Amino acid sequence: MLKIKALFACCLMIIISLGLVGCSTSSNSNSNDLAMFRGDSKHTGFIDTSGPAELHGVKWKFKTEGRIRSSPVFYDQAVYFGSEDQQLYSVNAEDGTLNWKFPTKGVIISSPAIMNEIVYFLSGDGTFYALKAQSRELLWSFVTDGKNEARDPYDYWQSSPAIDQGIVYFGGGDGIFYALDAIKGEVKWKQVLQLQNSDIFKDHPFVLHSSPVVDKGIVYIGLSGVIYKMQSEPGNVIALDALTGKQIWASRSLQAVDSTPTVDDHAIYFGMRNRPFQALDIKTGEDLWSNSSISYSLSSPAIHNGTIYSGSSDQHQLVAINATTGETKWTFLTSGAVHSSPVTDGTTVYCASGNSYSDQNGFIYALDAETGQEKWSLETGGNIFSSPTINDGVLYVGNDDFSLYAIH
């Protein structure tokens, strides 16, 4: 009997070990136990499930007490998102009923990340939280340093966390970048970042509202500044060692980078304010190409099978770009500015547009990924700055009409 018990215990430990391997937090993990803004820690915007290829309508709407500019994350049959009513929500993905809500003391305009049934998010109260996904129980919280305020009316979001190798990464106030232990909430390292040409820009504020990309042991993030007297919006992209925070490279001085970058094995891709869409060599940070089809972009790009999809704020369009050459493959004109970030299931690209000068006239689009031809579109009750996510034929997106939409 003792031998049987020992054998059973041994088998159980093997099963648990295999489960932990399956929950790996590496950049290339496809585990169901890892979900975040833009789908993964590389922020590819590719989500390995199906969105609604045909439009049947609004499946449900969930109302909050504030605008929803946080982007929803699907995890284990629930949708997690923040609202300007200072609450983080968990909503049943099937019927839109409330699972729970967690109060903070600031607006939540970043997006949560979830790993192994723990929800991580940053609130406008300057605190970073870790909660149990099932019960909203607070596991730990971390108070950040410095101010983390919007630099202008078009600064719609704060940095959303990325998780890799048991570390949570995010940008905070006063240019401070954080790497926290995902289990304990302790600081692994933090780094005060600097704009290039710091002698010129050192007395001027900038923000880290771009969300970090983590890939192959390197963290990439965009910096965004503004100097009203000089009518300048400086910025650049920084590459840091993921374990130590040591700077590997910094791009030359560019325009402000509010867009969250994405990466492949060769390049890092991102949009800027008042500058064409850019690709940099991932090893050196040197310029590879730029594309002026997108001359002002707060939207974060998606990438799949060598094609980049990115929205334009000024030109009111979604653009598909060849990732190798930087050439435009197709463009699709939208009803308004594309501040929301597109996602794709590989065959369809989903994006949303809004009106910067109104709380109304939001549109959601489903486009053929290869041709850019419209499959369907839907007008919503309010503006859309939240980015959509998809799961099993349903699209979820936040709205300025205080509602989270589920569309099928």
pTM of the model: 0.89
- Smallest CA-to-CA distance from 293 within 333, 262, 264, 343 is with 333
* Per-residue DSSP letter, 198: H
What sign for the dihedral angle of Cα 29, 34, 39, 43? negative
What are the b/e assignments for 217-235, b being 16+ CB within 10 Å?
Answer: ebbbbbbbbbeeeeebbbb
Measured CA to CA, the distance from residue 206 to residue 240 in angstroms comes to 18
Which residue stretches of the chain have pLDDT < 70? 1-32, 198, 202-203, 228-231, 356-360
Predicted pLDDT at 226: 77
Q: What is the pLDDT of residue 19?
A: 41
Amino acid at residue number 283? K
Residues 6+ apart with CB under 8 A from 19: none
Q: In the sheet where 403-407 sits, what is the strand order?
A: 58-63, 403-407, 394-398, 389-391
Q: Is 84 helix (H, G, I), strand (E, B) or coil?
A: coil
pLDDT in tens, 250-271: 998 788 898 899 999 999 999 9
Residue 370 pairs with which residues in a beta bridge?
none
Q: Are 404 and 79 in contact, with CB atoms under 8 Å apart?
A: yes
Q: Which of 73, 177, 171, 157 is nearest to 115 (CA)?
A: 73
Q: Report residue 350: phi and psi, to 5°.
A: -110, 130
Write the pLDDT tens digit of every residue in 313-366. Answer: 888 999 999 999 999 999 999 988 899 999 999 999 999 998 766 666 789 999
- Name beta bridge partners: 147: none
Alpha helices in 191-265, H assignment, sequence order: 198-201
In the prediction, which pLDDT does 1 show?
A: 44
* Whole-angstrom distance, CA of residue 25 vs CA of residue 30: 9
| Rounded to 5°, angle at Cα 129 from 126 and 135 | 145
Instruction: Give CA separation, 183 vs 119, 277, 285, in Å.
Output: 11, 37, 32
Beta bridge partners of 88: 82, 102
> For residue 6, what pLDDT is reported?
44
Are the CB atoms for 101 and 90 separated by under 8 Å? Answer: yes
Q: Residue 21 in contact with residue 14, Cβ under 8 Å? A: no
- Calpha distance 85→125 (Å, rounded): 12
Q: Say what the pLDDT of residue 2 is.
A: 38
Buried b (16+ CB within 10 A) or exposed e, 123-152: bbbbebbbbebeebeeebebebeeebeebe
- Identify the CA nearest to 86 among candidates 101, 98, 97: 101
pLDDT for the residue 225: 81
Q: How far apart are CA 34 and CA 76, in angstroms?
A: 10
Angle, CA of 108, 163 and 365, to the nearest 5°: 60
